[in-house]
Structure 1
Amino acid sequence: MIKEKSQNENNELRDPIYWCNKDGYYRGKKCPVCNSKGCFVLGGEKTYRLGKIVSGALRHFPKEFNIDVDDQGWTDLNDLFIALRKKYRWLKMRHLVGLIKSDEKERYELKGTKVRARYGHSIVVNLDDYPENDQSILYYGTSEEEAGIILSVGLKPIKQRYVHLSKTYEKALEAASIHTDRPIILKIDAEHAQLHGIKIISATKDIALANKISQEYVSKI
């Protein structure tokens, strides 16, 4: 059963951005590193709205914003800022940089004057510059209906460029619970999949990516 996000879940996505002189940008009431109250940067509602459009521009429809994304997903930070300013006249560069650097799910990567989404692309990108996955077991959360199909044919991306795998059982459960009330967690034998030529890369501390996972490396927990 598909379920709607609760109001509490939506509120969690709308924490304001602050600046800590010691530890940089963060979200929430206090700096998670030094526990001090920083300087206000951007309110929770604007952070949420800006995050949705940045995610869309970098992952799905850069052409609609007239920004150029290279083969590895990189675009010029200033070009992105100029494009977003056409929609949000209140936007300052500190808002955009704060959004990128404070994102707790590590959605974005900023390197010099270039920025990209780390995962979630529907456009064609090649993220092979990421390090190889070093975990022997990975996880994939899904619905009861889809689990049987995956066990028969394996995992292939449908709407996204890569299959997204979780590095912990808990993260897989969290991801699946957004879409179903009866999450099923599948175990991926990443070690043997990689030994047999399946490339799996590490995108963030929580997410690994693969072009596909054959069914022989998938089992039900």
Structure 2
Amino acid sequence: MPRDSRFLTLILRHRPDLIGIELDKAGWADIGQLLRALKRHGRSLSRTQLEEIVFADNKTRFTVSPDGTRIRAAQGHSLPLDLGLSPMLPPVTLYHGTARHSLDAIFAEGLLPGRRQFVHLSKDVVTAVTVGARHGKAVVLTVNCAAMAAEGHAFVRADNGVWLTSAVPARFLGFAPT
């Protein structure tokens, strides 16, 4: 099932074209069309299996619409989408996990979204450590969100609780105590 979850993440965040589907402007895919397209491309899943992937995902990567007919990735898109998330006042401090080898670039340029639409920020250090460890020796940075918001930087919170912003200038970064 992890293999199916990773493939579903790829499709719903970055490459719906791999199976010949289109996401709407908010990133939604019709579940019936998605399941048929997966089957045509040798990745057959039942509705029950899809639901198991969605609800077993400990990172809550996927959101199913309230009527149960559509699915989308909660965040992490490289596609230009409007998730329809309203700006919110963030907590005073959020966290960003990264690899030690990225620190020079981060403190020179700030946190940039790279190939994704937004910079992702965690509400706690534990989550940030997990994220940072995917890229090498983990380091957790603090983000002074109160100061950023006071300067007009916008924040939104994805369906899964991950905080998103367009970029974090280096002057708002520090190191989390570990």
Fold shared by both chains (TM-score > 0.5)? yes
Tell me the equivalent position of 1:153.
Answer: 109
Deviations 1:115-134 (A, max 9, x none): 10001211111224256253
Tell me the equivalent position of 1:141.
Answer: 97
1:51 is aligned to 2:2: no
1:214 is aligned to 2:169: yes
**Unmatched runs of 5 consecutive residues or more in structure 2:** none
Tell me the equivalent position of 1:65.
Answer: 19
Among 14, 31, 40, the residue aligned to 1:77: 31
**SS of the counterpart of 1:121?**
coil
**SS of the counterpart of 2:21?**
coil
C-alpha separation between the residues in 2 aligned to 1:211 and 1:127?
Answer: 14
Among 192, 208, 211, the residue aligned to 2:147: 192
Among 126, 129, 135, the residue aligned to 1:170: 126
C-alpha separation between the residues in 1 aligned to 2:72 and 2:155?
Answer: 19
Residues 162 and 203 (structure 1), Cα distance of their counterparts in 2 relative to 1, 3 Å cut: same
Residues 136 and 56 (structure 1), Cα distance of their counterparts in 2 relative to 1, 3 Å cut: same
The count of corresponding residues between Structure 1 and Structure 2 is: 174
Contact 2:63/2:159 (8 A) holds in 1:
no
Deviations 1:187-216 (A, max 9, x none): 101122122221111125552111111222
- Equivalent runs, 1:108-147 vs 2, <5 Å: 108-111=62-65, 112=67, 113-129=69-85, 132=88, 134-147=90-103
C-alpha separation between the residues in 1 aligned to 2:82 and 2:43?
Answer: 33
**SS of the counterpart of 1:79?**
helix
Tell me the equivalent position of 1:101.
Answer: 55
Contact 2:74/2:160 (8 A) holds in 1:
no
Higher relative contact order (CA 8 A, sep 6+): 2
**Unmatched runs of 5 consecutive residues or more in structure 1:** 1-46
Task: Give the TM-score normalised by structure 1.
Answer: 0.72
Task: Give the TM-score normalised by structure 2.
Answer: 0.88
C-alpha separation between the residues in 2 aligned to 1:140 and 1:164?
Answer: 7
Residues 172 and 62 (structure 1), Cα distance of their counterparts in 2 relative to 1, 3 Å cut: same
Identity of aligned residues (%): 26
Contact 2:118/2:165 (8 A) holds in 1:
yes
Contact 1:151/1:219 (8 A) holds in 2:
no
Contact 1:138/1:167 (8 A) holds in 2:
yes
Partner letter of residue 107 of structure 2?
L
